[in-house]
Amino acid sequence: MNVYDSERIIRLLKPEGFIRTDFPEKADLIILNTCAIREKAEQKAFSFLGRLSKLKKKNPELLVGVGGCVAQQEAEKALSRVPSIDFVFGTHAVPRIAEIINRVEVEGRRIVDVKMSDEINESGRGVDDTENSTVSRFVTIMRGCDNFCTYCVVPHVRGSEASRKPDSIVNEVKALVDAGVREVTLLGQNVNSYGTKEGLCSFPELLSRVNDVTGIGRVRFTTSHPKDMSDELIDSFQNLDKLCNHIHLPVQSGSDRVLKKMNRKYTRDQYLDKIMRLKKVCPDIAITSDFIVGFPGEMEDDFQETIKLIETVGYDGLFAFKYSDRPSAPARSFSGKVPEDIKKKRLKVLLELQESITAEKNKMLVGQTVQVLVEGFSKKQGNETLTDKLGKTQWSGRTVAHKIVNFYGSDENENLPEISIGQLVDVRIEKALAHSLWGICTHIDHDTRDEKGDKHYAA
């Protein structure tokens, strides 16, 4: 969501004469878009802002702004905490960013704008010709959250749920396709409840409309709350040809007792029932999740229930974090705080288990041919690797199951057409790594741009 908001900021500032630079020391304006979901992210944000004070001393005309969830949470306190900040703008103030900067320049004073609104402003959405070429983009379909999980700050910094109109979303996807985008990921804190409050179409209906956009090759979404996951949405993985066979379904804990304290509104068995139905409808679906270890009151038995859940589901990957108190979140006042050393130990055990599961799943793909959407050059390109010694270019992309694949052109067919970003290619997997796959391209499909849908390979 912050990536999407940052892209909007760039588009909104373009008419004001601003262009991007990769060199902070050359900038006239530096904006840090922040996240407050975890304490570590907040600490990193303020550490970065503190380092900007050196640039500010060298260039007194430099403007420094901080936006996003930390800005919404801290408001005026951020100004006193970091003297180099010129303006603070909250999560609902992105459409006002140009006005805020103009006020700072004209009035010569520091400004805080954290006013929240019940309506979604559509300005700054879409694409323009100054953006980097990319084949995969995010599209926010709703804002805020009404679930109030006891560990979470999101409802307090992003506000209550509000959904965009479906026509606006579809038109944005069409504009992205016209700009060369092949894949979109629909974003929301809980996409399953899209449109409910406003009486709009359901989320599965919106998915169907996006699926029908000519030229789009792949459709993804995140994040999906288990308690609101409908049979209609589950069936979408079977009925929509462009919907990727991957779902991120955060569970947070495998213990019913902890889930209740978290206010997640589902049980372990109810969650597993959704998983079983997903796998029945789409046997090759990749499932990822989020976990929190060390939630207040979590006992060793609770943690072992989490471990058993991970073993039962067999996730393709997950994000796991140590619990940390967040401002305004009810769990901050809960008793039974888990000591830091125990949280670290549990996190290590959990991550090591998942790494072994992911490694095993990746090994099963060796020898198979998977379809990959080419996103660009491999990040390893240029290192002292086999790639350089052979003088070959190493490309990178993802499967429909969201697995990263790095690959060469065919070693058997030197007449293989030239690979380019945005193409769908077949890659034979030669090696399974801890967090990615490596292979060799065997076929390039030049015509997939105009096809209605993609072939769903097992990976």
What CATH number is attached to the domain comprising 79? 3.40.50.12160
CB 381 within 8 A of CB 374: no
- Residue 169 and residue 280 share a domain: yes
- Please report, for the domain that includes residue 446, its CATH number: 2.40.50.140
Q: Report, as an integer, the average pLDDT of 386-390.
A: 47
- Is 125 among the domain residues? no
Domain interval for residue 386: 369-450
Per residue in 333-367, pLDDT (tens digit) is: 999 999 999 999 999 999 999 999 999 999 999 99
- Is 458 among the domain residues? no
Give the per-residue pLDDT at 37.
86
Per residue in 393-405, pLDDT (tens digit) is: 889 999 999 999 9
Q: Band of the pLDDT at 132, cuts 50, 70, 90?
A: low
Report the 10 Å Cβ neighbour count for 76.
11
Burial 339-372 (b: 16+ CB within 10 A, else e): eeeebeebbeebeebbeebbeebbeebeeebbbb
Q: Band of the pLDDT at 130, cuts 50, 70, 90?
A: very low
Per residue in 51-106, pLDDT (tens digit) is: 998 999 999 999 999 999 999 999 999 999 999 999 999 999 999 999 999 999 99
Number of structural domains (the chain) is 3
Residue 269 has pLDDT above 50, yes or no: yes
- Residue 429 and residue 357 share a domain: no
- Please report, for the domain that includes residue 282, its CATH number: 3.80.30.20
Answer with the one of 339, 363, 387 that is the final residue of a domain. 363
- Residue 332 and residue 194 share a domain: yes
Nearest to 327 by CA among 42, 26, 31, 21: 42
Residue 386 has pLDDT above 70, yes or no: no
Give the per-residue pLDDT at 128.
64
- Is 455 among the domain residues? no
Q: What whole-number percentage of the chain has pLDDT above 70?
A: 91
Answer with the one of 82, 113, 144 that is the final residue of a domain. 113
- Is 152 among the domain residues? yes
- Residue 315 and residue 168 share a domain: yes
Q: Which residue has the higher pLDDT, 385 or 242?
A: 242
d(Cα 53, Cα 71) in Å, to the nearest integer? 18
- Residue 99 and residue 187 share a domain: no
Residue 228 has pLDDT above 90, yes or no: yes
- Is 297 among the domain residues? yes
Residue 455 has pLDDT above 50, yes or no: no
d(Cα 267, Cα 17) in Å, to the nearest integer? 53
Residue 24 has pLDDT above 50, yes or no: yes
- Residue 359 and residue 278 share a domain: yes
- Residue 355 and residue 378 share a domain: no
Q: What are phi and psi of 14, to 5 degrees?
A: -55, -45
Average pLDDT along the chain: 91
- Residue 242 and residue 322 share a domain: yes
